[in-house]
Structure 1
Amino acid sequence: MSHCAARCATRSATRLLNLTRALSTEARGQKIERIATELLDLNSFERHDFTVLWRLKMGLHRYGAPVAGMTMPSVGAAARAEAGAAAVAEKMAFDLKLEKYDAAAKIKIIKEVRSFTDLGLKEAKDLVEKVPCVLKKGLTKEEANPIMEKLKELGAAVVLE
Structure 2
Amino acid sequence: MNPSENQRRIASAVALAVAIATPAEGLRRWAYDDTGGVLTVCRGHTGKDVVRGKEYSLAQCDALMDQDMKEAVLTVERCVPGLPANVLGAFGDIVYNEGPTAACNKSASHAARYLASHNYVAACKELPKWNKSKVGGVLVPLPGLTKRRNAEVAVCLEGLS
- Is TM (by shorter chain) over 0.5? no
Greater RCO, CA 8 A, separation 6+: 1
More helix as a share of residues: 1
TM-score w.r.t. length of structure 1: 0.26
Structure index of larger Rg = 1
TM-score w.r.t. length of structure 2: 0.26
